[in-house]
Amino acid sequence: MDASLDQDTNQQFFGNLWNENTIRYLSRSAGGRWFNDLLLMMLEKIDPDSISTVADVGCGVGMKTATMARYFTNATVSGFDFAVSAIEAASKAHRFENIRFSVEDITKAKNQKRYDLITAFDVLEHIDDWQGLVSSLIAVNNKMMMFSFPTGRMRPYESKIGHFRNFQRNEMESFMTSAGYRTVKTFYAGFPFYSPIMRDFTNVFFKNYVDVTQAEMGRASRMFHTAWYILFRYCSSRRKGDNFMGLFEKVSDNPAMPPSRE
């Protein structure tokens, strides 16, 4: 598998999408606020003093990277993405002493570093050989890894934004166990308001997706997102749903690694 094909496919969609407008939209959107809640609940499982280096792979405009920089105040938190526009927007928007952004592949860096925590949020569904990528990230990981991605039924619009698949329940847990990690915490979140309701709604109105994320939110739009955020946050399950988030801790340095698909 040529990894550059994955990058080219996703660059076509996200290269022009990631900018300052996207940051404003995500900070107010129902989905962005709800994801941040889930992320903070997951971070509570980690002693902040145990982490000195964080790598957020596929960071986009750095919203989640910034959340981790605020949590791991004594750590160096780095966001990496292939989209130059995303890194430029993130660097302007998130100015913390312990955060930096770079267009870099940490699995191929000349002066390869290792990271205590590696995260990849909504990234693996965009990668054909996701096992190969995770295995490469494991090679530069010291302690913990965290992932998020969609599971369950794949909607037609998802292939238009570079998704190769939706994952199956327990697929990542099984892979990480065989790679020498234990499962610390998982969410399968969002039923019923995020999924199926909102995902089906997005599928119907996908043609307006890019325009919506680039537009200024008016009062009515903010009220709409606030209402849906309440439904996501307080009326949706964290044990049943298609939005996966999982935290894994390394317990073995010599696992029987699953083979990567070529």
Residue 3: pLDDT band (50, 70, 90) is very low
Residue 261 within any structural domain of the chain: no
pTM of the model: 0.89
| Mean pLDDT, residues 186-195 taken together | 97
Question: Is 134 domain-assigned?
Answer: yes
Q: By C-alpha distance, which of 177, 117, 172, 179 is closest to 148?
A: 172
Q: What is the pLDDT of residues 179-190, one digit of tens each?
A: 999 999 999 999
Which pLDDT belongs to residue 213? Answer: 59
What percent of the chain has a predicted confidence (pLDDT) above 70?
A: 86
Note whether residue 262 is domain-resident.
Answer: no
Question: Which structural domain, as residue segments, surrounds residue 217?
Answer: 3-250
Q: Per-residue pLDDT averaged across 211-224, rounded? A: 76
Task: Return d(Cα 62, Cα 99) in angstroms, integer.
Answer: 10
| Beta strands in 58-140, from DSSP E residues, in sequence order | 76-80, 99-102, 115-121
Does a structural domain hold residue 259? no
Has residue 244 been placed in a domain? Answer: yes
| Residue 260, in any domain of the structure | no
Which residue's entry shows tokens 């596929």? 58
pLDDT over 80 (residue 6): no
Q: What is the mean pLDDT of residues 133-157?
A: 96
Domain contains 164? yes
* Listed residue (242, 166, 165, 156) closest to 204, CA to CA: 156
Q: Quick check: is 258 in a domain? A: no
Total domain count, the chain: 1
Give me the CATH number covering residue 139.
Answer: 3.40.50.150
Q: How many CA atoms lie within 13 A of 83 on its CB side?
A: 22
